[in-house]
Structure formats: C-alpha cells, structure tokens
C-alpha cells in the first residue's frame, strides 16, 4: 500500500530572524515512515523542519510552514491508501510577516495571529480522501474524550491519543505512551514503549484493520 505520513513541527515566520514553533522533534513521524517502509509499503513523508536524517527509501517532501504542509498534503493525498498525520502543525500563524527584523522598543509587544487551515480536518471533504485516515491527538487533559471527539469530527479511522503532560513521553522523547481511539467509542491503551516499537505496532495495527475491512 501507499502510506502518506506527516511529521515534525512547522515554523511560522514572524520576521526574517524569528518564528513560532513547538517541541515536536519529528521522531514519531520518522519512526512511522521507517516502519511502514520496513513493512513493504511505499511511503511519502511530508516533514516540517527537524534535525533527523532523512529515512531511507521514502519519498521525502520537506516543508516549513503549516500552509506549505497543507499544500503538499493536498497535492498528493489522493495517490495514497493510508494517511497518518503525526505532525504538530501550528494552529496559529502570524497574520503578517515583517519584511524587516522587528526592533525592540515598547516593554510589551502583541503579535496578531490567525488560524491555520486544518489539514486533518480537510482530508475527507476538501481533499476527498477515501483511504484509511489516522490522526494524532496531543492533549494535556481529557485525553480520551478529546481524541474521540476528533475521531468523530474529522471522520478518522483511528486517532492516536497522546498525553503530552507525562514526562518521558510525547514531544522530543525517544519513547511514547498512547491510547488507540477507534470508531464506536472503543479505546485501547498501549504500554509505554520506544517510538520505533510503537511505530511498528501502529503500522501492523493499520494493516490488520484494513485487511479486516477488505476480506478476500
């Protein structure tokens, strides 16, 4: 099958020297790309800026901003059977990018932000994606309720619920602890494990769900 995976943070420029971003390292998404490749799938990895080496054998598409990630996904998603959105996309971007470095002056400085387009939320209706859709939910409270709501609202087949308030798990860690949220209100907690092991487990889980949906 053909897997599309998004990974990493986005950088939202403020001026030529500054940007807004988050703590995503890209490790989870890159591990997913490697695991899908390892399982014999063709992989497109659309990645925000990270310090990680490009995984071997994948179609690698580097992007910087949420808008660029949106456009890159919109351009290729239809050619894929599975889409996994593990990127930590900025929800807001500066309303204006200053052409010059903003100089220090007043004691307080307010930055006007505007909402970015929701890539996962656009997959079904705007992009017309009919394949297996996987979202992530990074939450610090009401983890399962928020993830189930996302699953429903965005018509996902699976949402990987990530409690990012737990130390040693989630953003930038080598390990992760997640709960798989499925249609029908079912949720399956997984033990804490390396992102490499979790990625292999998620790819196997997705393969099995698709096989069960399409019996020979």
Q: Which residues bind ligand PMT (CB under 6 A)?
A: 6, 8, 24-28, 66, 85-89, 91, 116, 118-120, 135-138, 162, 164, 170-172, 176, 195
Whose Cβ is closer to ligand PMT: residue 43's or residue 164's? 164
Give the CB-nearest residue to ligand PMT.
119
Whose Cβ is closer to ligand PMT: residue 16's or residue 142's? 142
160 to each of 84, 127, 137, 156, how far by Cα in Å? 10, 21, 6, 10
Of 22, 51, 142, 176, the active-site residue reads 22
Whose Cβ is closer to ligand PMT: residue 1's or residue 74's? 74
Q: How far is the CB of 135 from ligand PMT (least distance, A)?
A: 4
**Is-catalytic flag, 22?**
yes
Distance CA(148)–CA(162), nearest Å, equals 12
Q: How far is the CB of 147 from ligand PMT (least distance, A)?
A: 8
35 contacts: CB under 8 Å, gap ≥ 6: 196, 199, 200, 202, 203
Q: How far is the CB of 79 from ligand PMT (least distance, A)?
A: 18
Whose Cβ is closer to ligand PMT: residue 14's or residue 22's? 22
Distance CA(77)–CA(3), nearest Å, equals 9
* 3 closest CA partner among 204, 171, 192, 196: 204
In DSSP notation, 30-70 reads HHHHHHHHHTT-EEEEEE-S-SSPPPTTSEEEE--SHHHHH
Q: How far is the CB of 88 from ligand PMT (least distance, A)?
A: 4
Active site residues: 22
């Amino acid at each position: 099958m053909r897997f599309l995976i998004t990974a990493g943070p986005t950088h939202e420029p403020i001026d030529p020297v500054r940007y807004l971003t988050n703590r995503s390292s890209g490790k989870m998404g890159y591990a997913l790309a490697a695991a899908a490749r390892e399982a014999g799938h063709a992989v497109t990895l659309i990645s925000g800026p990270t310090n990680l080496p490009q995984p071997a054998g994948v179609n690698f598409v580097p992007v910087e901003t949420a808008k660029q990630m949106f456009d890159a996904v919109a351009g290729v998603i239809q050619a894929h059977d599975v889409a996994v959105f593990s990127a930590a996309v900025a929800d807001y971007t500066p309303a204006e990018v200053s052409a010059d470095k903003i100089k220090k002056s007043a004691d307080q400085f307010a930055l006007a932000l505007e909402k970015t387009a929701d890539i996962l939320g656009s997959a079904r209706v705007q992009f017309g994606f009919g394949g297996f859709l996987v979202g992530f939910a990074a939450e610090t409270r009401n983890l399962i309720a928020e993830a189930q709501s996302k699953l429903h609202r965005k018509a996902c087949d699976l949402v990987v619920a990530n409690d990012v308030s737990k130390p040693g798990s989630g953003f930038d860690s080598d390990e992760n602890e997640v709960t798989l949220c499925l249609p029908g209100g079912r949720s399956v907690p997984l033990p804490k494990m390396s992102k490499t092991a979790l990625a292999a487990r998620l790819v196997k889980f997705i393969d099995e769900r698709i096989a069960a949906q399409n019996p020979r």
